[in-house]
Amino acid sequence: MHQPARRRFGAALLATTGAHLLPGTLTAAWAQAYPAKPLKLIAPYPAGGGVDTVARLIAERLAPRIGQPITIENRPGAGATIGADALAKSPADGYTLMLGSITDYAIAPHVHKNLGFDMRRDFVPIVEVGFGTVGLVVTADLPVKNVQELIALAKSKPGQLSYASSGIGGLQHLNAEMFKQMAGVDLVHVPYKGTTQFLPDLMSGRVPMSIDSMPAHLPHIKSGKLRALAVATRARVPMLPDVPTMAEAGLPGYETATNYTLFAPTGTPREAVAMLSRETNVVLQQADVRDKLLAMGIIIVGGSTEAAQARVPAEMAKWANVIKTGNIKLD
């Protein structure tokens, strides 16, 4: 029986005989009927950005596979916590999802007071879509050609080299704090509102470095205005094959990445979660989807809900330690 026909059959079965079904049969009938109406996918960042772009690509390819349209709802602000709060307060019925970041929500409890959600309590990670490559970039005029030379320069000029970030408490800020701690250097934080705002200063050398998600920097690396010294992934990445990892560059254990994970509210029926996970994994294997994401610097992960969930406590512990070690005041 084709998928739409199965859904109509399941809906009719629920409507006509639901009161007489045993719980197990009711669950099976519900699973056949789902999804019976359009879905909403929250993107907790502005339209046009990386998260929004990935959300629209996933929604476009997932919708025909599940037989229902998927509408994107942009809910930006407060480090992606406005969108996350909206998801936590949504009905756990499989019809409201969010493309968010395990990393963002691992940092959020240490940054924002009185959050209206808790990632461990309120979210079910359906599937980890992928991770965006983070790299250490410096202005082309900085007299260093590798990470060890940068560390040596920073140690020779303590408190004189600065780094740009998209704001206090954001991933870029904490990326650099972790670098400072592991390399034993003293750098000055210069917060901006976002990558777009600090790129002119980075390229001009006014601020000499940043540890940032790579897509916005790739054109300037290719043009020679910026230099990538290392990527913060476990292995080298296809878009920068000649750039070493942080481990290869002399900082073993330094790993960080932006994250794209599909979430549902806790309590969403496991049949819906399983179906969405399965179909999203199929979408992620489509060659043109992989090519489009790779062009954005995003490495596809895929896999199970359990694999995504396993990352949560590790990420929370990692960033809590960075904040505590650095005595960083984020309020």
Q: Is 153 helix (H, G, I), strand (E, B) or coil?
A: helix
Tokens for 240, please give them. Answer: 């920068």
The amino acid at 61: R
Q: Is 18 helix (H, G, I), strand (E, B) or coil?
A: helix
- Look at residue 7 in the predicted model and tell me its pLDDT: 46
Q: How far is CA 154 from CA 118, 173, 183, in A?
A: 38, 17, 10
Indicate the DSSP class of residue 118: -
Tens digit of each residue's pLDDT, the chain (331 residues): 445 444 443 444 344 444 444 554 445 555 678 999 999 999 998 888 788 999 999 999 999 999 999 999 999 887 788 999 999 999 999 999 999 999 889 988 887 888 889 999 999 999 999 998 999 999 999 999 999 999 999 999 999 999 999 888 888 899 999 999 999 999 999 998 778 889 999 999 999 999 998 888 989 999 999 999 999 999 999 889 999 999 999 999 999 998 999 999 999 999 999 999 999 999 999 999 999 998 888 999 999 999 999 999 999 999 999 988 988 876 5
State how far the Cα of 213 lies from the Cα of 279, in Å rounded to an integer: 28
Look-up of token digits 């990670």:
125
Q: Are 71 and 244 in contact (CB under 8 A)?
A: no
- Look at residue 328 in the predicted model and tell me its pLDDT: 80
Bridge partners, 39 (sequence order): 70
Domains identified in the chain and CATH numbers: 3-130+258-325 (3.40.190.150), 133-231 (3.40.190.10)
Tokens for 186, please give them. Answer: 């003293």
Close Cβ partners of 200 (under 8 Å, ≥ 6 residues apart): none
- Look at residue 190 in the predicted model and tell me its pLDDT: 95
- Look at residue 171 in the predicted model and tell me its pLDDT: 87
State how far the Cα of 38 lies from the Cα of 61, in Å rounded to an integer: 14
The amino acid at 125: P
- Helix ranges, the chain (H): 3-17, 23-33, 50-66, 81-88, 102-111, 119-122, 147-156, 171-183, 195-204, 218-223, 270-284, 287-295, 305-325
Close Cβ partners of 34 (under 8 Å, ≥ 6 residues apart): 7, 10, 94, 269, 271, 272, 275
Q: Please give the helix or strand (H or E) that residue 125 lies within, else none.
A: strand 123-139
